[in-house]
Structure 1
């Protein structure tokens, strides 16, 4: 009995020491807690962060541009942000200590979401219509190259700045004919507002001429240089979280609901599944692993950004993404 008690005490001491040893690691998302956030909650709830010695506090964001300055200033060591917005940020703030280290949305969810009943089914249909766009929105940031790729007359499109909370309600009420947003979020938000599924047109920019990547894990480079093993552990835990929710989206949605009581579990599971199928587990990722990028595609993406954005300095892909913290062959999702 004494030996058993001592063993239990020793195990508890080891557990307590391990908990004390976990490094507090703030992580800021791009948006509020919805289905695609589930992978990070799975990394926490299923012990992947803890196994890497990390105590990760996950914070909601306010848009795809929101996380970049938070990480660049060191307020957060890690964030989740649109890499195309990061490219422009670093061009405008040369030397800022932030870069992407793990691609998550191999195929970006940037979209124009419209209603067929309001005359929007293709990019050209936007001409003569009112487009609702939140200024900090990642999809809106990519609208200029999308418009260029589809030869749109932007002077014929009335752009209405809208807030994130009012974006889909305005479309549901017919106050705008289309909005920019992430495909999985805007679509399901409209469904929740009662818009019939067959009245919603999701124009995914990646299907209409964009070579761009989407959201990636970003890191403060000064922090990463000082803590390379911690960064590698963080990314490994994130990959494990994605594998968990790919295997069981419903469980992932339940983790979201635990943090966001207003969430509809079935709806968030659907949103997560859409993100997995369209943006995360692409053919390229399933073949080449999760986390990395294709150099030629990245160069094409930078050239496409340059069609409508005047770089102050010649773009350099090595400034915006590094695979230094990824395993060889990236993270297998098979």
Structure 2
């Protein structure tokens, strides 16, 4: 039997004691981070990329356990993150600006701008005498209480020189906006075009012939819209998780554009009663009208134009008489975006 000096045995034991925990730590898999995510609305084609990314394992690859809940308004999606109920959401950047003016330490941060053009509009019947923004004075407009188009109406009114106090508002359930207009229970409705356009199609109404659209973007409101926002706490404590969340969603958007049928199939797994043809048409409408704009094609989906974004904050500050005007960097953070080449898409 070979004799091993006691000194060597002790040194070996010491080395094992020191390096074993380090080896175990190095080999241990990264912990999975649970993230609660709330949408802006009920499940629709415009949410399909989240579920496609989930089914393809993109969140799992980033060590994220994502739970997605339906929402009740893109502005409310912001307040739910502020309340701590959710760590992330698909919400309205303009609501973030307003929140940051009064509660800068609590306001969430936009990290992936999906709607390069805010899809806000006033819709009315084509037979209506409402043809311009100014024609809305003295009229009754419907909207859910948490709707972003309703919350942004004062900006539209200010820009077009009308008195918002001379407009009567009727609060209604989200699923009744189109019905109440068609039944003449309201004279107009403040809507998200990507939602209402296809809801009208589902009710056998031609949204191009039977409905008149007064788009905010065509009446002096150069605002961005919805995107992925996260809490400041998540950015501070787990910036790598935020980057992973954005990467996974970006891949989902990429794949939804390349194969919209697969995206709608992923959505239908969660909501089997959806009309797949209608929701695919809604998805394509959103992509072509508010996501893949010329600006987004140049800068990549998820980013903003700094000058335009600064102008939009100025508009909001003036219209809402904000006590403080937040800096763009306090509202939007592009540092988590994948490279531009990975965010430049086109619809086939």
CA apart distance, 1:29: 0.9
Rounded Cα–Cα distance in structure 2 between residues aligned with 1:117 and 1:64: 30
Aligned match for 1:114, one of 100, 113, 124 = 124
Structure 1 residues 293 and 174 mapped into 2: Cα distance closer, same or farther (>3 Å)?
Answer: same
Aligned match for 1:102, one of 105, 112, 116 = 112
Deviation sequence 1:250-286 (CA, Å, 0-9, x none): 3222222221233111111111111101111111111
Matched, 1:37 2:47: yes
Structure 1 residues 276 and 90 mapped into 2: Cα distance closer, same or farther (>3 Å)?
Answer: same
Trace 1:33-72 onto structure 2 (pairs within 5 A). Answer: 33-72=43-82
Structure 1 residues 187 and 122 mapped into 2: Cα distance closer, same or farther (>3 Å)?
Answer: farther
Structure 1 residues 207 and 248 mapped into 2: Cα distance closer, same or farther (>3 Å)?
Answer: farther
CA apart distance, 1:152: 3.0
Deviation sequence 1:71-97 (CA, Å, 0-9, x none): 223322211110111111122323115
Indicate conservation of the 8 Å contact 1:115/1:121, yes or no: no
Matched, 1:224 2:235: yes
Indicate conservation of the 8 Å contact 1:71/1:220, yes or no: yes
Rounded Cα–Cα distance in structure 2 between residues aligned with 1:310 and 1:207: 23
Structure 2 unaligned spans of 5+: 1-26
Give the RMSD, CA atoms, in angstroms.
2.1
Structure 1 residues 155 and 28 mapped into 2: Cα distance closer, same or farther (>3 Å)?
Answer: closer
Structure 1 residues 97 and 202 mapped into 2: Cα distance closer, same or farther (>3 Å)?
Answer: closer
Matched, 1:285 2:296: yes
CA apart distance, 1:101: 1.1
Rounded Cα–Cα distance in structure 1 between residues aligned with 2:149 and 2:95: 10
* Bigger CA radius of gyration: 2
Report how many aligned residue pairs link the two structures.
Answer: 318
Question: Normalized against structure 1, the TM-score is what?
Answer: 0.89
Matched, 1:261 2:282: no
Indicate conservation of the 8 Å contact 1:28/1:59, yes or no: yes
Aligned match for 1:272, one of 272, 280, 283 = 283
CA apart distance, 1:176: 1.2
Deviation sequence 1:268-326 (CA, Å, 0-9, x none): 11111111011111111111111111111111001111222111223322211111212
Rounded Cα–Cα distance in structure 2 between residues aligned with 1:238 and 1:302: 26
Rounded Cα–Cα distance in structure 2 between residues aligned with 1:68 and 1:155: 26
Aligned match for 1:300, one of 288, 305, 311 = 311
The range that moved more, 236-245 or 160-169, is 160-169
Structure 1 unaligned spans of 5+: 1-16
